[in-house]
A = this chain, B = another copy of it.
Amino acid sequence: MRGDASRPVTISVIAESAGVSIPTVSKVINRRAGVSADTRARVEAAIDQYGYRRPTSKARSRLMELVFPELASVWAVEIIRGVEQVARANQVRVLVSQFGLHDSESPGWLDEVPSHRPGCVIRVAQLSAAEREQLQTRGIPFVVFDPTAELPAGVPFVGATNWTGGQSAISHLVALGHHRIAMISGPESILFCRARLAGYRSALETARLPYDPDLVAHTQYLTREDGHAAARILLSRTPRPTAIFASNDLQALGVYQAAREAGLRIPDDLSVVGFDDLPIAAWADPPLTTVHQPLTEMAAAATEMALDLGRGIPATRTGLELATTLVVRDSTAPPLR
């Protein structure tokens, strides 16, 4: 028998039938400790008798997913750490996966065993329209982490204050006395690259320094190699720039290499500022002045936001940008000339 068909089989029906409390039933279902063998057997008998099936919403809320476009970046681990910390505090498990734009239109993670479907998703960097639609159709809330493109209104995201960060880097160089400050910017298609570049321009304007397009190099990727190639071009300009602001720390390491090859000393002949403040920034020779992006805190904030949405708590704010801070190390100094 399956009980009265007109009455839905809920956890309280099971509790009543077994003569125990709801928390006790919950313990048995979730195989937690603190239930005697006798009670456990009675609850399990009631579950069998009523053909009770645990609602999936409960199961879903215990899993979340963190999706990277690629797991190659040195900052992935900072993000994972932030997500894992908050998820663990909420007793939620974290699925980590890789799903690039080069992959098929249909995200593989949605066609899974339903019980393994995440209660919410954090998508790093990008979220295609197709993905967004599929997540919405399945009722899986999502947050975009550090979006690389403008998002439609209402799509929740967490990023950093990239424009302000760019500004602070240039203000620091201006305060040191630099007048010819070059910038290596990533692709214009990337939102945070545009924001950092805009910060550079605004700071120059504030300092009443001219904006010289010859002192801005755009690269295809945010890699050390692209930073190196761009720095070679910028260092060949006449007069040579006395400082270079790179779009991230890897590019800044490429600037270091180009400076070495050109026989330029950092910071005596060339000041360099990066962005991100990955561990490698402090390890560089000389240690790199850079704009600290609080990746772990950003990931923690994105996780709190996603978990709230997964619990049906409406978002108090759709987007959030966490403050960057300039970390001054040894790669910046007043210009010699």
Q: Which of A80-88, A127-135, A210-218, A304-312 contacts B (4 or more CB under 8 A)?
A: A80-88
Q: What are 27 of the A-B contact pairs (CB < 8 Å)?
A: A30-B111, A30-B114, A33-B111, A59-B115, A63-B116, A71-B77, A71-B80, A72-B77, A73-B77, A74-B74, A80-B80, A80-B96, A81-B98, A88-B97, A88-B108, A93-B95, A93-B116, A95-B95, A95-B96, A96-B96, A115-B115, A116-B116, A224-B283, A253-B283, A256-B285, A257-B285, A280-B283
Say if the beta carbon of A23 comes within 8 Å of chain B: no
B62 and A116 within 8 A (CB):
yes
Say if the beta carbon of A313 comes within 8 Å of chain B: no
Chain A, interface SS category:
mixed
Number of copies: 2
Say if the beta carbon of A53 comes within 8 Å of chain B: yes
Q: Can you name 4 extra interface pairs (CB under 8 A) apart from A63-B116, A71-B84, A256-B285?
A: A30-B111, A58-B113, A84-B98, A96-B96
Say if the beta carbon of A139 comes within 8 Å of chain B: no
Query: Which B residues are in CB contact (< 8 Å) with A95?
Result: 93-96
Nearest Cβ distance between residue A61 and chain B, in whole angstroms? 9
Interface string of A197-223 (1 = CB under 8 A from B): 000000000000000000000000000
Query: Which B residues are in CB contact (< 8 Å) with A2?
Result: 1-2, 51
Query: Which B residues are in CB contact (< 8 Å) with A97?
Result: 84, 88, 93-94
User: What number of A residues sit within 8 Å (CB to CB) of B?
Assistant: 46
CA of A165 to CA of B152, assembled, Å: 52
**Chain B CB within 10 A, most for which of A33, A51, A53, A96:** A96
A98 and B88 within 8 A (CB):
yes
Q: Which of B53, B94, B112, B279 contacts A96 (CB 8 A)?
A: B94
Interface string of A12-37 (1 = CB under 8 A from B): 00000000000000000011110000
Say if the beta carbon of A190 comes within 8 Å of chain B: no
CA of A71 to CA of B81, assembled, Å: 6
A59 and B285 within 8 A (CB):
no
Say if the beta carbon of A260 comes within 8 Å of chain B: yes
CA of A1 to CA of B114, assembled, Å: 26
CA of A76 to CA of B81, assembled, Å: 10
Residue in chain B with minimal CB distance to A285: B285
CA of A294 to CA of B329, assembled, Å: 33
User: A248-276: which residues lie under 8 A (CB-CB) from chain B?
Assistant: 253, 256-257, 260
Residue in chain B with minimal CB distance to A66: B96
Q: Which of B62, B72, B111 contacts A81 (CB 8 A)?
A: B72
Query: Which B residues are in CB contact (< 8 Å) with A109?
Result: 93
